[in-house]
């Protein structure tokens, strides 16, 4: 049984070393180090790195606007559904309050 203070290894989680005998941590540290040495390419988006009036920037702006429109339509549908439910429940509540009671009345 492993004690709670036992240091964890990759093999404890079912991860094995690669076919070359390298650990996963060693394999992943290379790309991370390469990206850390090239920060300019990580911080720039497609619109900011290039010209703001290029076809790519215009296409990205249209993509953003179309996604916002789709989100607006979906959220509008959800809101209209709940407005419909609220009005329907108010109509049913008003109709049940105005209708005569079907329970028998007992005179004593």
58 inside domain: no
51 inside domain: no
80 inside domain: yes
Q: Tell me how far apart the alpha carbons of residues 53 and 61 are, in angstroms, rounded to a whole number.
A: 10
Number of structural domains the chain divides into: 1
Is 13 in contact with 24 (CB distance < 8 Å)? no
Domain carrying residue 74: 66-95
70 inside domain: yes
Residue 73's pLDDT band, with cuts at 50, 70 and 90, is: very high
83 inside domain: yes
The beta-carbon contacts of 62-69 under 8 Å, at least 24 apart in sequence, are: none
108 inside domain: no
Q: Tell me how far apart the alpha carbons of residues 82 and 72 are, in angstroms, rounded to a whole number.
A: 15
Prediction pTM value: 0.46
What average pLDDT score do residues 23-45 get?
A: 71
77 inside domain: yes
88 inside domain: yes
Q: Tell me how far apart the alpha carbons of residues 91 and 3 are, in angstroms, rounded to a whole number.
A: 64
Residue % of the chain over a pLDDT of 70? 57
Question: How is residue 51 written in tokens?
Answer: 């010209």
pLDDT of residue 13: 60
């Amino acid at each position: 049984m492993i004690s709670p203070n036992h240091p964890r290894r990759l093999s404890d989680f079912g991860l094995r070393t690669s076919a070359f005998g390298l650990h996963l941590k060693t394999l992943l540290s290379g790309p991370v180090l390469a990206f850390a040495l090239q920060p300019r390419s990580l911080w720039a988006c497609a619109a900011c790195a290039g010209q703001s009036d290029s076809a790519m920037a215009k296409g990205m702006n249209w993509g953003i606007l179309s996604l916002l429109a789709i989100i607006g339509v979906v959220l509008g549908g959800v809101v209209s559904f709940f407005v419909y439910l609220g009005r329907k429940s108010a109509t049913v509540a008003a109709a049940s309050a105005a209708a005569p009671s079907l329970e028998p009345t007992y005179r004593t």
